[in-house]
Structure 1
Amino acid sequence: MTSVPAAGDSFRSAFRHRAFALFWCARVCSMLAIQMQVVAVGWQVYAMTDNPLDLGLVGLFQFLPTLALVLVAGHVVDNNDRKTVLCGALSVEMAAVASLFLLTMAGALSPHAIFAVVALIGLAKSFEGPANQAILSATVPLEDLPNAVAWQSSGVQVAQISGPALGGLLYIAGPAAVYGVSTAMLVLSVLLIAACRPRPVTMTRRAMSLSSMLAGAAFIRSRPEILGAISLDLFAVLLGGATALLPIYARDVLFVGPWGLGLLRSAPALGALAMAMVITRWGVKRHAGRWMLIAVAGFGGATIAFGLSTDPVLSFIALLAVGATDQVSMFVRQTLIQLSTPDEMRGRVGAVTSLFIGASNQLGEFESGSVAAMVGAVPAVVLGGVGAVGLAGLWAAMFPALRRVDRLLGR
């Protein structure tokens, strides 16, 4: 990767573009909203059922629409105005969170209603993910794209830090307060995207066909370094992700309550933000593939440390390390994809990567909840961390193209 400018220079290179500034603000607002409602949903579901499996079902119901619509979503994004698609997806999320607010106020919220609403959010995110990835590259010139990737990631991490903590604080006033503020943030996000003017992208409209819809998957398969990076992130987070079990840790292991849950959910994002700022300042100049493999192994080690800890401070520190190592992996993966994907395929490639991300996050929550229901929360987290460490070594052997990735820009 070419030398990344100092933080102040990179800020100017990305944020001097009005389209990127509006897009960045919209991403932060939408992530704040989703992170706040995740805290409320997790606490409410566990309070209603006292069953770890139900925490996993929340992730499963959000993931299933992404799985069902992955090919359709990518085709829609690549054959329609991407800003319109994104506004529509965010509007559906806004309506879904507003329904949580109304059902809570009416005293009619149940686990089944929550599962239905998160499925609707998952449907909207099936289109939001690829639309976001497609629009990002149109908000800045190519030479500013690595900076934009880093700053977008930093903004997302800010939201993931403050969103859960704010959600935990607002929950003191009741879940309706969380859902009401989340709805307002999504309204603001829609308005910001509507005001954004990304660079026009020439599109060739294609009839919906199997070959067209599968083009994104075919492109990823043709690039072993990208396939290795995406699949490594998928399986590492699928096995090692512990966020679905944080309500259990907050209530039954660490005894810190809803506010403590918000802080625990914020910790990985805080670690990721710190690492994102390091990357923005100094970059990943050489041996990017090796750094990704090392980071995934570190992610697994930090997950093991969190799983075994019974001290809130040590647990918070372990989750900081989880987020910092995951940020390195995410930066390498996102930059590889953004710099390698042709404009006309960004929606379809973005849909496939969104499926991988959804599988690692939402399906990972289901995996965590299922294993915790069988063997307990602590063994589930520790076993997942051990699996992530093992995967880093296995992927280093299976994907030499990923291991050999050196510079991300100007390769």
Structure 2
Amino acid sequence: MLDETGSVTMLAVLGALQYMGTLIAPLFGLAGDLKGRRAVLCAMRVTYAVLAIAMMIFGLTGVLTPYHVFALVFLMGLARPSDIVLRNSLIGDTMPRPNLMNALGFSRATSDSAKIAGALAGAGLLSSLGIGVTYVFVAGFYLASFALTFGVSKTRPNHGAGESPTSPGRDLMDGLAYAWKTPNVRMILWMAFLLNLTAVPWTTGLMAYVARDIYLMDANGLGRLVAGYASGALTGSLVLAWIGGTSRPSLLMFATALVWYGLLAVFAQIRDPSIGAWLLVVIGVCHSTTMIAMGVALIGWAETRFRGRVMGVRSFAVLGVPVGLLSAGPLIAAVGYSPSLELYCALGAAATILVAVLNRRFI
């Protein structure tokens, strides 16, 4: 997209479209609570495969335009943010609380390792074979994922004994009310939104801008940066999967979030791509550790019957990413890359400290 349009704003819009599904994530969580996680996960993977096949056809026939990409990414973005909702809810359903940190660490390690392989293989395939052939492989992986999802248990989460059936609308509103009225859950939701607003955009949607305009790298260079970041995230995930973490995950979350902001502020000043790549590895460790600790705290605190809906509400926080991206694009154009990133870090760190102070009884 950056090569076709030359616009960092268009790149930011493309990144933002991937998160539009956060608006309906609680509905996916509700469907998982009521119909079972497996059925919803299978439907989502079929959707991914169909959209990847459409991208493949457009690419192979030579008619792919930025408008096609915007449309397909938007449709993919309606479902993808809810994927982690259902996967984390499934972990909460099946794992005892003392093992949550290990389980979430292992789960995130699998996704981080896929990002590393995808970034390197995708960049190589794209530059050598083109987008059409690349998406032949993407569609194949989505179909394989659909087949593997049949191994998930059909079990549905238990509801409270003696509860009378209610409408889906009432179930959804009950979940939203529970998430908002439970103070420790609300604290996690605020932190999730804050991090997605001020920290995540710089290492996701804007990484292509950093690679091309700051480090003067091509698609393969971008792949190496993304792989380095994902390698750090994988390292953090594996460490937590191995050692299990702490009995106070909220404290770990706040501590690593502040370190994350500090490292991003340093990253804003780096112009050597080699140093930047190594720094991204450490930033990835902080990102992974923060998000896993956040997930452990939220899953551990949420009641079983509300878990899918609470995780769906948690996905609302991902709306911070498109807001952060859409704000960063014009800000970079106006004041430059480094001042923009430093401003985001300062605001994010200050807000993190405020949330911690106001909710210190839960830390």
| Common fold by TM > 0.5 | yes
Structure 1 pair 266–366 and aligned structure 2 pair: CA distance change class (3 A): farther
| Residue from 186, 189, 203 that aligns with 1:230 | 189
- Superposed CA deviations along residues 246-274 of structure 1, whole A, max 9, x for unmatched, are 21221122122101101111222211221
Q: Distance in 1 between matches of 2:10 and 2:188?
A: 30
| Residue equivalent to 1:149 | 104
Say if 2:307 is the partner of 1:338.
Answer: no
Q: Distance in 1 between matches of 2:166 and 2:38?
A: 19
Q: Distance in 2 between matches of 1:332 and 1:227?
A: 15
Structure 1 pair 153–330 and aligned structure 2 pair: CA distance change class (3 A): same
| Residue equivalent to 1:327 | 288
Structure 1 pair 63–206 and aligned structure 2 pair: CA distance change class (3 A): same
| Residue equivalent to 2:274 | 313
**Unaligned runs of at least 5 residues, structure 2:** none
Letter in 2 for 1:176: G
Q: Distance in 2 between matches of 1:258 and 1:366?
A: 23
| Residue from 272, 279, 290 that aligns with 2:240 | 279
Q: Give SS of 2:47's match.
A: helix
1:159 deviates by 1.6
326-335 or 364-373: bigger deviation:
364-373
Say if 2:295 is the partner of 1:295.
Answer: no
Q: Contact 1:139/1:198 (CA < 8 Å) preserved in 2?
A: no
Structure 1 pair 58–349 and aligned structure 2 pair: CA distance change class (3 A): same
Q: Contact 2:101/2:244 (CA < 8 Å) preserved in 1?
A: no
1:236 deviates by 2.4
| Residue equivalent to 1:161 | 116
Q: Contact 2:198/2:344 (CA < 8 Å) preserved in 1?
A: yes
Q: Distance in 1 between matches of 2:69 and 2:192?
A: 28
- Aligned-pair identity in percent equals 22
Structure 1 pair 336–296 and aligned structure 2 pair: CA distance change class (3 A): same
| Residue from 223, 231, 237 that aligns with 1:262 | 223
1:199 deviates by 4.6
Give the structure-2-normalised TM-score: 0.90
CA RMSD of aligned residues (A): 2.2
Structure 1 pair 248–96 and aligned structure 2 pair: CA distance change class (3 A): same
| Residue equivalent to 1:409 | none
86-95 or 219-228: bigger deviation:
219-228
51-60 or 280-289: bigger deviation:
280-289
Q: Give SS of 1:202's match.
A: coil
| Residue equivalent to 1:47 | 3
Structure 1 pair 94–370 and aligned structure 2 pair: CA distance change class (3 A): farther
Letter in 2 for 1:326: H
**Unaligned runs of at least 5 residues, structure 1:** 1-44, 405-411
| Residue from 51, 55, 58 that aligns with 1:100 | 55
- Superposed CA deviations along residues 134-160 of structure 1, whole A, max 9, x for unmatched, are 222344455543321121111122122
Give the structure-1-normalised TM-score: 0.80
Letter in 1 for 2:238: M
Q: Contact 2:102/2:244 (CA < 8 Å) preserved in 1?
A: no
269-278 or 142-151: bigger deviation:
142-151
Q: Distance in 1 between matches of 2:153 and 2:176?
A: 29
Structure 1 pair 143–79 and aligned structure 2 pair: CA distance change class (3 A): same
Letter in 2 for 1:110: T
Say if 2:176 is the partner of 1:217.
Answer: yes
| Residue equivalent to 1:115 | 70
Structure 1 pair 64–212 and aligned structure 2 pair: CA distance change class (3 A): same
Correspondence 1:116-131 to 2 at 5 A: 116-131=71-86
Structure 1 pair 377–78 and aligned structure 2 pair: CA distance change class (3 A): same
Say if 2:144 is the partner of 1:183.
Answer: no
1:46 deviates by 0.7
Q: Give SS of 1:195's match.
A: coil
Q: Contact 2:35/2:156 (CA < 8 Å) preserved in 1?
A: no
Q: Distance in 2 between matches of 1:271 and 1:292?
A: 17
Q: How many residues align?
A: 356
| Residue from 74, 83, 97 that aligns with 2:38 | 83
Say if 2:359 is the partner of 1:369.
Answer: no
